[in-house]
């Protein structure tokens, strides 16, 4: 007996879709700063400022991809795609992580090339553009702060903006060092620091995306605890084939085969067990997509127990 104990009649809104307006605001701010920093980098000759602009451009591309993915993910499910296009958000997050890695490698390579002969830098323009970038990044962080725990794409954008803020601080520091001491290599060193700051964030985002694609158990979910609570329900004999995974940010899914006493499989008995299972699971695992397959104890010996 299978039962999907969900009372939702439509697809759950994805984490990114809930915060689309925040992402649009951040995209507009980021593109404006990219334009200013790129012009400033060309005029000043600062590689660090250009690196920061390049990083922010990748962030803008990432936010645009996230918005596009949220629109695609909102398309309705069909017989061919029963979960619709919600995984598009995860693929967008994967693209963001890969772009970040490429950007960091390009910046690092150019910085190493410049170490032997640092060019002259116009620090006034460099400092002004970096300060503007820092202010814009701080504003974007405040916009995204409340939403970054609900979506991989929003969290990816939040982490990228945080990296941009640190990058802007590095450019500001380099400009001040050059202004005070004339040590032009500070610009190149700041570029290397920006490249090194990008990589760890890209790696963490990539790891989270891979976990979703491999249908790993969501973070914070204790499978053993869930198993114990299911077994504590009256009439339940055992539970097997437990699967917990994530379709996309904010859309976890649970399924399990629950072996019950034969007497519990009457119409009222089955409904009572399912209601208790759903209530129990809802208090420990926040999902509207719970599927239980009830099996009589006398039939359990025919099941191939190959899963958790």
Q: Provide the H-helix boundaries in the chain.
A: 15-18, 20-44, 47-73, 88-114, 123-144, 152-181, 185-213, 223-231, 267-284
pLDDT beyond 80 at 289: no
Q: Rounded to a whole number, what is the largest CA-CA distance in the chain? A: 86
Tell me which residue range forms the domain holding 53: 15-213
Q: Which helix (H) or strand (E) holds 238?
A: strand 236-248
Instruction: Mark whether 133 and 190 lie in a shared domain.
Output: yes
pTM of the predicted model, to two decimals?
0.69
**Closest Cα to residue 293, out of 259, 245, 264, 244?**
259
Q: How far is it, in rounded angstroms, from Cα 206 to Cα 95?
A: 9
Q: Is residue 96 part of a domain?
A: yes
Same domain, yes or no: 167 and 290: no
pLDDT at 49 over 80: yes
Task: Please classify residue 109 by burial: count the beta carbons closer than 10 Å to its beta carbon, then call 0-12 exposed, 13-18 middle and 19+ buried.
Answer: exposed
The CB density around residue 21, as the number of other CB atoms within 10 Å, is 10
Q: Which residues contact 200 (CB under 8 A, 6 or more apart)?
A: none
Domain count across the chain: 2
Q: Note the pLDDT of residue 28.
A: 92
Give the position of tokens 């085969």. 257
Burial class (CB in 10 A: 0-12, 13-18, 19+), 266: exposed
Are both 39 and 101 inside the same structural domain?
yes
52 CA to centre of own chain: 22
Contacts for 10 with CB less than 8 Å, ≥ 6 apart: none
pLDDT at 10: 45
Residues 186 and 252 in one domain: no
Tell me, what DSSP letter sits at residue 266? Answer: S
Q: How confident is the model at residue 20 (pLDDT cuts 50, 70, 90)?
A: confident
Picking from 213, 230, 245, the residue at the C-terminal end of a domain is: 213
134 located within any domain? yes
CATH code of 273's domain: 3.30.70.1350
Q: How is residue 284 written in tokens?
A: 């420990």
CATH value at residue 168: 1.20.1510.10
Residue 70 has pLDDT above 70, yes or no: no
Tell me: do 231 and 196 sit in the same domain: no
Same domain, 286 and 147: no
Q: Say if residues 174 and 48 touch (Cβ distance below 8 Å).
A: yes
pLDDT of residue 135: 92
254: helix, strand or coil:
strand
Task: Say whether both 194 and 47 belong to one domain.
Answer: yes
The answer to whether residue 5 is domain-embedded is: no
In a domain, 109, yes or no: yes
For 72-127, the pLDDT digits (tens) are 766 777 777 777 777 777 887 788 788 888 888 888 888 888 887 777 888 899 99
What 3-state class would DSSP assign to 253? Answer: strand
252: three-class secondary structure by DSSP: strand
> What pLDDT sits at residue 294?
83
Q: Where a domain ends, among 172, 190, 213? A: 213
Packing angle of the helix pair 123-144, 152-181 (nearest 10 deg): 160
Structure tokens at 50: 């250009």
pLDDT tens-digit series, residues 141-166: 888 876 666 666 677 778 778 878 88
Say whether both 169 and 41 belong to one domain.
yes
Please report whether residue 308 resides in a domain. no
Q: Which residues contact 266 (CB under 8 A, 6 or more apart)?
A: none
The Cα–Cα gap between 144 and 164 comes to 14
| Cα angle, residue 96 at apex, residues 90 and 100 outer, rounded to 5° | 150
What is the total residue count of the chain?
Answer: 308
Residue 56 and residue 31 in contact, taking contact as beta carbons nearer than 8 Å: no
CB atoms within 10 A of CB 300: 15
């Amino acid at each position: 007996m299978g039962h999907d104990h969900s009372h939702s009649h439509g697809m759950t809104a994805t984490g990114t879709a809930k915060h689309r307006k925040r992402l649009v605001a951040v995209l507009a701010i980021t593109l404006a700063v990219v334009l200013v920093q790129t012009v400033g980098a060309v005029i000043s000759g600062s590689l660090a400022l250009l690196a920061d602009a390049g990083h922010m451009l990748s962030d803008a591309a990432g936010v645009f991809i996230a918005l596009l993915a949220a629109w695609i993910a909102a398309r309705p499910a069909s017989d061919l795609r029963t979960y619709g296009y919600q995984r598009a958000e995860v693929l967008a997050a994967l693209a963001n992580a890969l772009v970040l890695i490429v950007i960091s490698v390009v910046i690092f390579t150019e910085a190493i090339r410049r170490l032997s002969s640092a060019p002259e830098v116009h620090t006034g323009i460099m400092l002004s553009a970096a300060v503007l970038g820092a202010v814009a990044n701080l504003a974007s962080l405040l916009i995204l702060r409340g939403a970054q725990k609900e979506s991989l794409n929003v969290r990816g954008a939040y982490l990228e903006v945080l990296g941009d803020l640190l990058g802007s601080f590095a450019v500001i520091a380099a400009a001040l060092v050059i202004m005070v001491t004339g040590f032009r290599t500070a610009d190149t060193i700041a570029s290397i620091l920006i490249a090194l700051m990008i990589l760890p964030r890209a790696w963490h985002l990539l790891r989270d995306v891979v976990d979703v694609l491999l249908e790993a158990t969501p973070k914070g979910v204790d499978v053993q605890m869930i198993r114990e609570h299911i077994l504590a329900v009256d009439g339940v004999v055992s539970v097997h084939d437990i699967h917990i995974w994530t379709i996309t940010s904010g859309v976890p899914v649970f399924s399990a085969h629950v072996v019950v006493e034969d007497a519990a499989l009457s119409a009222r008995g089955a409904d009572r067990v399912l209601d208790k299972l759903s209530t129990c699971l809802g208090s420990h695992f926040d999902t509207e997509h719970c599927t239980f397959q009830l099996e009589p104890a006398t039939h359990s010996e025919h099941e191939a127990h190959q899963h958790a």
